[in-house]
Amino acid sequence: MTTDNRVTIESLDQEGRGIAHAEGKVIFIEGALTGEVVSYASYRKKPSFELAQMTTLHRAASIRVEPKCKHYGMCGGCSMQHLDSRVQVAVKQRILEDSLARIGKVKPESILPAIYGQAWGYRERARISAKYVIKKEKMLVGFHEKRSSFVADMQSCEILEPKVASLIEPLATLLAGLSIRDKLPQIEVAVGEHVYVLVLRIMAPLSCEDEAALRAFADQHVVQFWLQTKGPETVVPFYPLDAPELTYSLPEFGVVMPFAPGEFTQVNSQLNRVMISRAMRLLNPQKGERIVDFFCGLGNFTLPIARSGAQVTGIEGSDALVKRAAQNAASNHLSVNTAFSARNLFEMDEAALAALGRFDKWLIDPPRDGAMELVKSITPEIAPDLIVYVSCNPATLARDAAELVLRGYVLKSAGVMNMFPQTSHVESIAVFVRS
């Protein structure tokens, strides 16, 4: 760490860090907000920039609030709790617009109103670490510390679904008493509408006493334990075996989605409903249209599209997710106008895309890497009239937007969806129309 320096914060970056300039360098300062005067200590130095932590707040901004979580600043799970929740949304909107302008050299014709929901207690999916610390004779259960591989010493969490948050301390006590407490590095949490699932990653067999302790905990706290011994394919239910299956529902579209603990679903089910509703309004699927849902997962957008009567094809890289999507279509009586296939969309080319035929409309919902190979493969013969692009990374959305403009599209609208309040994650949606 260097000695303290005093600077004025000029703006915020994509990670929610304050940006200042000192001695010809850009300084990115964690915990600082626009307009504030702070002192900082650098923890990483490069020729043109430094990464730093705020050490002293000399003049606070009006948008600063007291963090709700007592572990904030030590735990690495959140980075924006010191910023008013409503202002967080505005910051993310600015990050989206700046990314589109700076990286994509594009500007949407209109800005969509931001989508946001509850600011706390929203997270229904999480991967939580566990570590038995011999020197402390204590089991730690929580997220990693900021900029560290150490597990944070947590007793609570303000963004986890409230019941899950209330289990942090009881889980630590339970795991500390197991014979394999030093061979249990992770707990995956999945909350459904009718069941709470805790997947224990175990590196050694449970003893009979361990199994009895897990059963007693499950009965007391009304949760279901699953076990994972190796890769994701080894995840199996342990107790109770008669628990309801994991599901989430989309009432607006009459859809119920079963899913397994390891399968990808959005962490914020309330906002997921609002996001799908907006995507459907923007896509406006009509009976008789041919629509494709790229990176379809287990059918989160595919089945609502199908409910409109359109013929929809879901394409996803994972064979297991494609199988799950087809099962979900069948259970919702939507098999007749859905089809699914597994393809590596990061290796798409013009010939492979042309082989799918032309679709009237596209919905794209890629991971953080974006969909560059897919959009680069668009030719005039198969170009859709409309593309709705759901993004979890403004930088790759902006990059792909530039490519779509080159291929004759206009960015009609874009806006943010605050799927992850209190964090720097920026989820957004954009609409491209063929000019």
Catalytic residues: 392
Contact 152, 168 (CB under 8 A): no
CA proximity to 30, closest of 66, 62, 55: 55
| Coil/strand/helix, residue 389 | strand
The response to whether 157 counts as a known ligand-binding position is: yes
Q: Are 392 and 416 in contact (CB under 8 A)?
A: no
Three-state DSSP at 387 gives strand
* 316 labelled ligand-binding: yes
- Ligand-binding site membership of 365 (annotated): yes
In the chain, the amino acid numbered 2 is T
Three-state secondary structure string covering 275-325: HHHHHHHHHCCCCCCEEEEECCCCCCCHHHHHHCCCEEEEEECCHHHHHHH
Q: Are 197 and 161 contacting, i.e. CB atoms less than 8 angstroms apart? A: no
296 assigned to a ligand binding site: no
Question: Which residues have C-beta within 8 Å of that of residue 84, sequence separation ≥ 6?
Answer: 63, 64, 65
Please tell me the distance from the alpha carbon of residue 160 to that of residue 134, in angstroms, as a whole number: 27
How distant is the alpha carbon of residue 71 from its chain centre?
A: 21
Q: Are 121 and 159 in contact (CB under 8 A)?
A: yes
295 assigned to a ligand binding site: yes
Q: Do you find a cis peptide bond into 240, omega within 30 degrees of 0?
A: yes
> Binding site annotation covers 75?
yes
Instruction: Output the known binding site.
Output: 69, 75, 78, 157, 266, 295, 300, 316, 344, 365
Instruction: Output the known binding site for [4Fe-4S] cluster.
Output: 69, 75, 78, 157
Instruction: Output the known binding site for S-adenosyl-L-methionine.
Output: 266, 295, 300, 316, 344, 365
